[in-house]
Structure 1
Amino acid sequence: MAIDGQSVPNVRWGSSYIPVVPGEHAVAVAPQQVVRRPVQAVVPVVAGQVTQVYYRAPTFGRAPVSRLTTGVIGPVPPQPDSTGLGWFIGAAIAGFATVLMAVIVFGSQLGFW
């Protein structure tokens, strides 16, 4: 994570309190996966107030291609993708298991053994 181009040490998943001076700050987060393209947002900070910034790591759902490698950052919690690669993989495994069960159950009738 970087604020105004300066790396912020010891930032972990979850909440982190990072004091900054009031004004607009460029916040960038780079995922630790294969592709490290950072996602960026300009965040206004008001004196005497806490400003929350939310980040969600890259997903493989209905997201645009740019979000597949960067994630999402902004002042409100990002909505999760309701469909995507996980659902596809689950459906593929279920379909394969169904076909495998059919072959095991009906294999002798179909001449497989």
Structure 2
Amino acid sequence: MILHICGAADWAEVDEVGEYRPASLDDVGFVHCSDFGTAHLPANALYRGRTDLVLLEIDPAKVGAPVRWEDGVPPHPAGVWFPHVYGPVPRAAVVGVHDFTESAGGGFRLPDALARR
């Protein structure tokens, strides 16, 4: 499974047979994703203070588009690679939607439902 951070309202706009098409698809040609061990990195760098986020749990076998592990954009200073989906994400490929909020001590961490896996 791979993970994608988005606003709850953006996800709510995708109908039952629709596709999720974030702005990054037009801007850089892919959907930014993470894995279970790296989702906190972009969250803490880009989304501090946001209270409207969800974490989409995506089955890469169901997206119908290439998924490539690559350097981040921009590259992560520690050389971490991230999964990128080179096409829209069909709603059917999203197998879970999890509220994604900062922890009480500050910073993002995986929701308990995902951390237990």
Both proteins in one fold, TM over 0.5 = no
TM value normalised by structure 1: 0.37
Q: Which has the larger radius of gyration?
A: 1
User: Between Structure 1 and Structure 2, which shows a larger proportion of strand residues?
Assistant: 2
Q: Which has the higher contact order (CA 8 A, sep 6+)?
A: 2
